[in-house]
Structure 1
Amino acid sequence: MPRATTVAVAYDCLFPYSTGGGERQYRAFADELGRAGLDVDYLTAVQWDGPTPAEDRFRIVPVTGRLSLYSPDGVRRIPAALRYAAGLLGALVRRRKQYAAVIVSGLPIFNVFAARLALLGSGTRIVVDYLEVWHRRQWVEYSGLVTGTIAWVLQRAAIALTPLATCHSQLSATRLRREGLRRPPLVSPGLIDGAADVSSPSPAATPPYVLYVGRHIPDKRVEVLPAAVAVARESIPDLRLVVLGTGPSSDAVRAEVRRVGGENWTDFPGFVSDAELDTLLHGALALANPSRREGYGLVVVEANAHGTPVVLVADEGNAATELIDAGVNGVVSPSTRPTDLARAFRDIADGGETLRRSARAWYDAALTTRTIRRTVEGIAAALQLPVPSPVKTKEDSP
């Protein structure tokens, strides 16, 4: 493998062996780099049983064993982050002359120090991809005063050490500069993988339902949805709530359902298959994501692919709102108050099929400008990688 065309992507998780926005994004990075003809290693932790799986466009390289990533309350565990960083350090030291470039996730932040130390003087170019950038108050709220302050200081140090940064929103770009980045970051055009193959938009299912998809953790604020749907039912009497996923906040969500008397109109399917998820997305009146923070907002894109409008909540840490064109593909609620969210649901119901068609049209237009492929092309150009001719695999065949 010639060094000039061999690259690595470093993240402690890999889709579909674990799920989440970061997992899907970095897998897509590896896929697109491999599709372009580069040799790609994906440096990750073990998340599967048995032998290391084989992939068409990249090699999976385990750098540490299976990790317990989250505490019971949904916070990233420092020991797991340190174990992965130590494994990444060792793997990159052993391969320090092998890679032309390494794309490393800036979360957890220890990854940045591991990559910089391992590759010092090797000639390997490093790009740090920042899914999110937090200010000090966010770190303290997430991890407590002492741990949060230390994490914020480490983040600032890592940003100062970053030779080339990429991010996926203007919010993150602004925060990177405020936190000490020495040169402007590369802001990606988008993270759409273009893989959605769904039929044309159709009317919302009967009875209509609001859908939530994701983990149940404090930052996602899933527990605000039952009261909001209860208020919206005053004007949409048959409206239901469907809550996918589970997590540390699940008990709080169920308690809210009981408090507002929503047992008869709320469903908790848990985790569902991809086919079931597509069906639920396609039929939802709206997909609601009341999260206080998002680094990009892939959920907006996925829902709009089905013609389903999205309801988000305005918050200083929520970059997903950058994807919403009001009245075109969704609504941004000013707060999580039940009346505000209920008004957003009613606005979407009033928009009817016209709004569903415009949401899908937003997605179709974004397919030409906001894709993972465009983002990876920008990273490759910034790294001055000599990209060979694209390699076709069976997945590329018509």
Structure 2
Amino acid sequence: MAPRATVAVAYDCLFPYSTGGGERQYRAFADAIGTAGLDVDYLTSVQWDGPVPAEERFRIVPVSARLSLYTADGVRRIPAALRYAAGLFRELRRRRSRYAAVIVSGLPIFNVFAARLALWGSGTRLVVDYLEVWHRRQWVEYSGAVTGTIAWILQRAAIAMTPLATCHSQLSASRLRREGLRSSPLVSPGLIDAAVETPPTTPASRPPYVLYAGRHIPDKRVETLPAAVAEARTAIPDLRLVILGTGPSTPQVRAEVDRVGGAEWTEFPGFVSDAELDTLLHGALCLINPSRREGYGLVVVEANAHGTPVVLVADEGNAATELVDDGVNGIVAPRTSPTDLARAIRAVADGGDDLRRSARAWYDTAVGTRTIRRTVEGILSALQLPTSPAPRIMKEDTP
């Protein structure tokens, strides 16, 4: 019998040891590839105390020590990105004959150079997964004129040397082509985790509340929410605001709450458990996310799974709006002004239970076609790797 092929998934974070959309996505990739009957190594940094944890569908391979990933302003730290890339290069160089394919995240961009150089001439197939693709102005706004311009040039170089690119929105696909990709990107059908079970849709909780869930960083524009909810309360007097997460923008968000007199109707639970998040999602009038940029829009899927509509904001960098059918599973506001966001919140309230049922119906349709499993099947098919559903528990790594 031919030996089972081994695939590596490379990302510097791993859920649940750290949280975020990328962490959840790449863990789900590893689970799905393992379920398809391949051996999987997850190449990451240390994010736990004690021995390397054991996972059922894949093997965790630490390639760097614990990293401090973000600055106080929520910007990715270049030294941390370089340390992970160096560790990734060493591990892939040492085991270049082990892997049939490597799937590496295109963010941070140094990962692409590390994997490409380490695997050069080995015959190992390389897939670069682009969560987002930024144009020059976005990089400059994020990192400053000099660093941002250098990052944009490096991104273009990485895209040019990418043999097989995957992405998760038409926005990212068009940007990949514009930034110099030499082949057609593989656009995934979606990133829904079909294994997640949610209870039947119910009416929104009383009193109603608007929910935000995520980090507090400038791109998320969380500070726009207190004024929007204050204006929406003129039509929905008992409306509340629940803001999950924390981050460098938290002081600004709290200052906005105080400015609009919202202390009595705003809650800051911080980061909560998955069970608490599910409960809050299930009862929310809507999940509101005024972010200026999203590479996919997992928040839409997670909210709609509970029958909870979403409120997003139109922006050239926000691919999440591709998932919203206005008036079916949410509302897309044209801007982040209090009036525009309040109007969207009121539209959700006016939609009532009918909108909640249609949001859940959107999810029930999407979960059959827009799943992580379908995305992984597409990647493995493009790589021409033999698969057979043979899930098993991963044992201790053998060099």
* TM-score band w.r.t. shorter chain: over 0.9
Question: What RMSD in Å do the two structures reach over aligned CA positions?
Answer: 1.2
Q: Aligned with 1:62: secondary structure?
A: strand
> Corresponding residue for 1:177?
177
Q: What is the identity, as a one-letter code, of the residue corresponding to 1:173?
A: A
Give 1:274 deviation, angstroms: 1.1
Q: What is the identity, as a one-letter code, of the residue corresponding to 1:14?
A: L
Give 1:195 deviation, angstroms: 2.7
Q: What is the identity, as a one-letter code, of the residue corresponding to 1:298?
A: L
Which deviations, in whole Å up to 9, do the C-alpha atoms of 1:108-132 show, x marking residues without a partner?
0000000000000000000000000
Q: Aligned with 1:261: secondary structure?
A: coil
> Corresponding residue for 1:65?
65
Given that residues 85 and 110 in structure 1 are in contact (C-alpha distance below 8 angstroms), is that contact kept between their aligned partners in structure 2?
yes
Please give the alpha-carbon distance, in whole angstroms, between the structure 1 residues aligned to 2:45 and 2:391.
Answer: 27
Please give the alpha-carbon distance, in whole angstroms, between the structure 1 residues aligned to 2:147 and 2:344.
Answer: 37
Give 1:49 deviation, angstroms: 0.2
Q: Aligned with 1:264: secondary structure?
A: helix
Given that residues 35 and 57 in structure 1 are in contact (C-alpha distance below 8 angstroms), is that contact kept between their aligned partners in structure 2?
yes
Question: Which runs of structure 2 are paired with 1:22-61 in the superposition (5 Å)?
Answer: 22-61=22-61
TM normalised by structure 2 equals 0.97
Please give the alpha-carbon distance, in whole angstroms, between the structure 1 residues aligned to 2:247 and 2:208.
Answer: 25
Please give the alpha-carbon distance, in whole angstroms, between the structure 1 residues aligned to 2:109 and 2:2.
Answer: 30
Q: Is residue 262 of structure 1 aligned with residue 247 of structure 2?
A: no
Please give the alpha-carbon distance, in whole angstroms, between the structure 1 residues aligned to 2:66 and 2:392.
Answer: 32
Q: Aligned with 1:30: secondary structure?
A: helix
Give 1:3 deviation, angstroms: 6.8
Please give the alpha-carbon distance, in whole angstroms, between the structure 1 residues aligned to 2:389 and 2:51.
Answer: 31
Please give the alpha-carbon distance, in whole angstroms, between the structure 2 residues aligned to 1:88 and 1:388.
Answer: 28
> Corresponding residue for 2:295?
295
Give 1:196 deviation, angstroms: 2.5
Given that residues 4 and 99 in structure 1 are in contact (C-alpha distance below 8 angstroms), is that contact kept between their aligned partners in structure 2?
no
Please give the alpha-carbon distance, in whole angstroms, between the structure 1 residues aligned to 2:114 and 2:344.
Answer: 45
Give 1:253 deviation, angstroms: 0.3
Q: Aligned with 2:190: secondary structure?
A: coil
> Corresponding residue for 1:133?
133
Given that residues 3 and 99 in structure 1 are in contact (C-alpha distance below 8 angstroms), is that contact kept between their aligned partners in structure 2?
no
Question: Which runs of structure 2 are paired with 1:354-369 in the superposition (5 Å)?
Answer: 354-369=354-369
Size of the aligned set, in residue pairs, is: 394
Would you identify which runs of 4 or more consecutive aligned residues in structure 1 move more than 3 Å?
1-4
> Corresponding residue for 2:107?
107
TM normalised by structure 1 equals 0.98
Distance 1:3 1:220, change over 3 A: farther
Given that residues 156 and 179 in structure 1 are in contact (C-alpha distance below 8 angstroms), is that contact kept between their aligned partners in structure 2?
yes
Give 1:310 deviation, angstroms: 0.1
Please give the alpha-carbon distance, in whole angstroms, between the structure 1 residues aligned to 2:84 and 2:5.
Answer: 25
> Corresponding residue for 1:331?
331
Given that residues 57 and 392 in structure 2 are in contact (C-alpha distance below 8 angstroms), is that contact kept between their aligned partners in structure 1?
no
Structure 1 spans left out of the alignment, 5+ residues:
394-398
Distance 1:4 1:153, change over 3 A: farther
> Corresponding residue for 1:396?
none
Please give the alpha-carbon distance, in whole angstroms, between the structure 2 residues aligned to 1:11 and 1:3.
Answer: 26
Q: State the percentage of identical aligned residues.
A: 81
Q: Is residue 212 of structure 1 aligned with residue 212 of structure 2?
A: yes
Distance 1:256 1:307, change over 3 A: same
Q: Aligned with 1:173: secondary structure?
A: helix
Q: Is residue 320 of structure 1 aligned with residue 317 of structure 2?
A: no
Give 1:282 deviation, angstroms: 0.4
> Corresponding residue for 2:86?
86
